[in-house]
């Protein structure tokens, strides 16, 4: 039981964190849970295909540079990202529940954390509890950040679902980042320390993707229209201070004021 908790705690924590960042229209928790479980389920085909295409996968640290690059960039990275992507694309994306940009990040997180959690359990089972600590800060967030690349772009296509080029490009980028991470880690040289700044940068990008997805949500409440007083004075919606209605910006905070007669349709 303790190994199970060690293996699953990081992934569950990150999944819950992202779930509650979706503040405008939170997803059905049962759909998120099913996506998490499907993410766990695709670990099995990943293991089988990798065993067939990369027979020496367990000993890649001893393989040549070319063999490692081929395995990680052409097989392992693309395969694992494709399987996590397929869970979301086939099981959730076609449904009415996928209706705003943030949904792409929520469901890519659920799929990735399901995959990473079961993979984590297998590593911890083989290598012992000490493996859980490093993987909690590197491998598990890595799955989150890499899948967040295609999750963000998939979410941005919720209105125009024919934008396959954008989605394919983001999936390819995620695969390259995933393969690059594995390639560097397995080198077991000082070069492997590069994964630390990589995770920091990817984490910053992931949080920015969440902010952008939320900002573009159709469920986001409209900005309140300034209260235009009878004597040419309005209340700024930003700072709440009275300011001249004749100006285009608030005299106190500099916020751009909507023009008189502005409505939510932009006219």
Strand partners, 242: 235
Q: Indicate whether 72 pLDDT > 70.
A: yes
**Segment among 21-25, 43-47, 183-187, 219-223 with least mean pLDDT:** 219-223
How many Å apart are CA 81 and CA 51, to the nearest integer? Answer: 17
pLDDT grade, residue 143 (50/70/90)? very high
pLDDT grade, residue 262 (50/70/90)? very low
How many Å apart are CA 213 and CA 205, to the nearest integer? Answer: 12
**Segment among 57-66, 75-84, 192-201 with least mean pLDDT:** 57-66
Tokens of 18: 């992202």
Helices and strands (DSSP H and E) totals, the chain: 10, 3
Decide: residue 132, CB within 10 A, 0-12 exposed, 13-18 middle, 19+ buried. Answer: buried
Q: Indicate whether 249 pLDDT > 80.
A: no
Tokens of 160: 């125009």
pTM of the model: 0.81
Computed over every residue of the chain, the mean pLDDT equals: 88
How many Å apart are CA 223 and CA 85, to the nearest integer? Answer: 35
How many Å apart are CA 147 and CA 205, to the nearest integer? Answer: 12
- 50 and 76 Cβ atoms separated by less than 8 Å: yes
Give me Rg for the CA atoms of the chain.
23
How many Å apart are CA 24 and CA 217, to the nearest integer? Answer: 8
Task: State which H helix or E strand residue 231 sits in.
Answer: none
More confident residue, 135 or 222: 135
pLDDT at residue 216 in the model: 92
Of all residues in the chain, the percent with pLDDT exceeding 90 is 63
More confident residue, 101 or 60: 101
Q: Indicate whether 266 pLDDT > 50.
A: no
């Amino acid at each position: 039981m303790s190994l199970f908790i060690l293996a699953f705690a990081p992934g569950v924590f990150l999944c819950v964190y992202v779930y509650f960042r979706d503040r405008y229209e939170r997803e059905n928790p049962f759909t998120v849970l099913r996506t998490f479980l499907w993410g766990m389920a695709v670990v099995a085909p990943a293991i089988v295909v990798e065993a067939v295409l990369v027979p020496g996968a367990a000993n890649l640290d001893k393989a040549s540079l070319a063999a490692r690059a081929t395995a990680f960039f052409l097989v392992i990275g693309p395969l694992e990202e494709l399987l996590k992507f397929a869970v979301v694309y086939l099981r959730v994306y076609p449904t009415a529940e996928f209706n705003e940009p943030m949904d792409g990040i929520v469901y890519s997180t659920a799929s990735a954390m399901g995959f990473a959690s079961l993979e984590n359990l297998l590593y911890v089972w083989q290598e012992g509890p000490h493996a859980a600590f490093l993987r909690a800060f590197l491998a598990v967030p890595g799955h989150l950040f890499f899948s967040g690349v295609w999750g963000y772009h998939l979410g941005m296509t919720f209105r125009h679902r024919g934008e396959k080029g954008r989605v394919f490009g983001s999936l390819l980028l995620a695969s390259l980042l995933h393969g690059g991470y594995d390639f560097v880690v397995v080198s077991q040289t000082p070069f492997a320390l590069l994964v630390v700044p990589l995770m920091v940068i990817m984490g910053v990008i992931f949080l920015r993707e969440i902010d952008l997805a939320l900002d573009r949500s159709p469920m986001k409440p409209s900005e309140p229209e300034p209260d235009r007083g009878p004597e040419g004075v309005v209340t700024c919606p930003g700072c709440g201070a009275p300011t001249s209605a004749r100006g285009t910006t608030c005299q106190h905070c500099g916020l751009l004021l909507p023009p008189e007669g502005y409505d939510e349709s932009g006219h």
